[in-house]
A and B are shown apart, each in its own frame.
Chain A
Amino acid sequence: MNAYASPVERAWYIGLRVLVGLVLAFLVLPILVIIPLSFNADSFLMYPMSGFSLRWYEDFLTSPAWQQSLKNSLIVSPAATVIAMALGTLASIGLVRSDFPGKTLLMAVLISPMVVPLVIVGVAMYLFFAPLGLTGTYTGLILSHAVLGVPFVITTVTATLQGFDFNMVRAAASLGANPVTAFFRVTLPLVAPGVISGGLFAFATSFDEVVVTLFMASPQQATLPRQMFSGIRENISPTIAAVATILIVLSTLMLITLEWLRRRNERIRGARST
């Protein structure tokens, strides 16, 4: 703002910043507020806190139900992510490199799991997988989560591939590399940031998924969000706050990783264009 600003401009300048500050506080404060409560000594989720304690983390780490749900999440999400990443990356390369009528439509179909409301996906998969004996199994749950992760891999990897110079693959081929070698030695290292970002999106989707899990999983496969869902619905305890804090730390780490990948990708591109 310059020194010649009129009072109206000054008010606009300050007012806009105050308003934006309030909205950003609305976005972030609720998430921060729950963190201290996870260290509360007594069992009430409210301020003022009565003292510091790690008992709710201990409860999370020793309760069989929470431990089982953590284990389930650590089985289902990585497996679903690997399937989504493998199939999604291959298909993305195919989508970017090939040309045929109806490609746009196919692309729309491939990212449709992101658009269809989750309850419909959940009910459809439940009714379809139940006669096949796949509901209440890890296989069924992993497959359903992989479906939900695919669109994120597709959108991220195709976006990365748009900036990929396929002459590199030609160069590799002209130097005698077969297509498989060229893929693993040239294409993959260069699009790795995009693939990993897509994988992180797919992982976060699966790790936060509760609606489809409600239909597909039996209590033995209850994932962490599923356990949180029943926890919040029945009796919201500080253990929920402890789990929430752990999840907030996790999502912060993912955010930082993604940002780092994005910068790395920009740097690779920047280096190439100069």
Chain B
Amino acid sequence: MSTDTLPLDAAPTESVVGLKQRLRRAERRRKLLYGALILPLALFLVIAFIWPIAALLKRSVDNPEVHGALPQTLAVLKHWSGDELPPAEAYAALAGELAAIRGTPELGAAAKRLNRETPGYRSLIMKTARKMPLAEGVDAQGALMTIDSRWSDVDIWLAIKRTGAPYTAFYMLSALDLTIDADGSLSATPPEESIYLDILGRTFWMSLIVAACCLLLGFPVAYLMANLPQDKSNSLMIFVLLPFWTSVLVRVAAWIVLLQNDGLVNQALMALGLTDSPLQLVFNRLGVYIAMVHILLPFMVLPLYSVMKGISPVYMRAAMSLGCPPFKSFWKVYFPQTLPGIGAGTLLVFIICMGYYITPALLGSPKEQMVSYFIAFYTNQTINWGMAAALSAVLLAATLVLYVFYARRLGASQAPAGR
């Protein structure tokens, strides 16, 4: 960057060439130097954000329980075809390993994992482990079969082999309500056990409704603001930005107060004679919709407004001066120009809505809980991290696909923050 090294006394032609080279080199060095400024943040995000998320996603295919608990048994089973009962060494290895990890959490985890594959496996493992270790010199095969006749069942051994792989598609398939049968073919989970497609569908549907409501309410607001004089639209903007900046929890609390049985809305409805008894407006789907639309409406108005602000009024005037009626010229001339804003706002609201957790958790009944709730549920309540990770993977994939579409088609400059 410094210019004190320029060879002022060199021959003109040579100095021009050298100068160009030197300038290019200096520019390159400068760019590298500035690029280095990104490093601390990139490093921070990789360690504290990217890596944790990658580790979580890996858990959706991780299958450590049986693999870690019964390595020798699995080594023996590796060469077993599965057509008949496994060799005696498999029985001996299993008996030895069960004896070794008896009473440890490792055994419990493996039993739980096997139970997910074949119901009843947990008690089988626990019952067998209690009888361990076997006396010296006893035939393990006979002993195990005496403890429980299921050890003479080929399917029971196949389950160990199947769950023994270090990686599994079990959780990912479960998240899409698919199962692998004992013979390895893919089939839909029976209706009474399939819940996840329902949850995913509900998440999409609720996000769609919220995005549509936001569009219906947000469009006129953005339109009026874009067509008013600047000082007036600035003061209207305060009405949009104040809720935008107010804590989500404050707004949720406010809606509970307003919508509860003896809240203001019900009082007003009864005073107007529209209803005799209070309506159930909260802790159901309606309450969640109202609060979500309220929370996400600014995310719709802001991108719509910025697009409409850039639409010149000249086109509308031209259309009308050519004899097109006002509403037709609005629909044919103005409205198509707002489509980028509509796309940006709707996608943005939809993306944010899909990941929502607090609002349905506080304002909805169990029937309103979306994917996020079940991710938290499997993490905190049932400690089924594989399932939590698989649902996270599905939600993350849906979010990222929509976000990439949003950023590509509508410009990443419209950051989700709105402004």
**A and B: bona fide binding partners:** yes
List A residues at the B interface (Cβ < 8 Å): 8-9, 12, 16-17, 19-20, 23-24, 26-28, 30-31, 33-34, 37, 45-47, 83, 87-88, 90-91, 93-95, 97-100, 104, 106-129, 143-144, 146-147, 150-152, 155-156, 159, 173-174, 201, 204, 207-208, 210-211, 214-215, 225, 228-229, 232-233, 236, 240-241, 244, 247-248, 251-252, 254-255
Residues of chain B within 8 A (CB-CB) of A255 are: 238, 241-242, 245
- Are B388's CB and A20's CB within 8 A? no
Chain B interface helix/strand/loop/mixed: helix
User: Which of these, A26, A31, A121, A155, contacts B246 with CB under 8 Å?
Assistant: A31
- Are B35's CB and A31's CB within 8 A? no
Q: Complex Cα distance A232/B42, Å? A: 37
Q: A119-B375, A124-B53, A127-B56 are in contact. Are A94 and B37 (CB under 8 A)?
A: yes
Name A12's closest neighbour in chain B (CB-CB). Answer: B326
Residues of chain A within 8 A (CB-CB) of B272 are: none
Q: Complex Cα distance A94/B217, Å? A: 40
Q: Does B314 contact A (CB under 8 A)?
A: no
Q: How large is the interface on B (under 10, 10 to 19, 20 to 34, 35 or more residues)?
A: 35 or more
Q: List 12 A-B contacts (CB under 8 A).
A: A23-B220, A26-B297, A28-B243, A30-B251, A34-B253, A108-B407, A115-B351, A127-B55, A208-B249, A228-B249, A244-B250, A247-B250
- Are A210's CB and B249's CB within 8 A? yes
Q: Does B205 contact A (CB under 8 A)?
A: no
User: Which of these, B2, B48, B400, B417, contacts A152 with CB under 8 Å?
Assistant: B417
Bitwise interface map of B from 356 to 388 toward A, beta carbon under 8 Å scored 1, else 0: 011001100000000010011001100001001
Closest beta carbon of chain A to B26's beta carbon, Å: 12
Residues of chain A within 8 A (CB-CB) of B354 are: 117
Q: Does B334 contact A (CB under 8 A)?
A: no
Name B40's closest neighbour in chain A (CB-CB). Answer: A87
Name B227's closest neighbour in chain A (CB-CB). Answer: A16
Q: Does B45 contact A (CB under 8 A)?
A: yes
Flag the segment in B119-127, B145-153, B191-199, B256-264 that touches A.
B256-264
- Are A110's CB and B243's CB within 8 A? no
Name B241's closest neighbour in chain A (CB-CB). Answer: A255
Residues of chain B within 8 A (CB-CB) of A228 are: 247, 249-250, 253
Residues of chain A within 8 A (CB-CB) of B407 are: 108
Q: Does B395 contact A (CB under 8 A)?
A: yes
- Are B35's CB and A128's CB within 8 A? no
- Are A248's CB and B246's CB within 8 A? yes
List B residues at the A interface (Cβ < 8 Å): 1-3, 30-32, 34-42, 44-45, 48-53, 55-56, 59, 217-218, 220-221, 223-224, 236, 238-243, 245-258, 260, 262-264, 267, 294, 297-298, 326, 351, 354-355, 357-358, 361-362, 372, 375-376, 379-380, 385, 388-389, 392, 395-396, 399-400, 403, 407, 412-413, 415-417
Residues of chain A within 8 A (CB-CB) of B34 are: 93-94, 97-98
User: Which of these, B48, B243, B247, contacts A225 with CB under 8 Å?
Assistant: B247
- Are A27's CB and B396's CB within 8 A? no
- Are B399's CB and A117's CB within 8 A? yes
Residues of chain A within 8 A (CB-CB) of B45 are: 109-110, 113, 147, 150
Closest beta carbon of chain B to A258's beta carbon, Å: 8
User: Which of these, B37, B44, B220, B260, contacts A20 with CB under 8 Å?
Assistant: B220
Residues of chain A within 8 A (CB-CB) of B400 are: 115
- Are B40's CB and A91's CB within 8 A? yes
Residues of chain A within 8 A (CB-CB) of B53 are: 116, 120-121, 124
- Are A128's CB and B56's CB within 8 A? yes
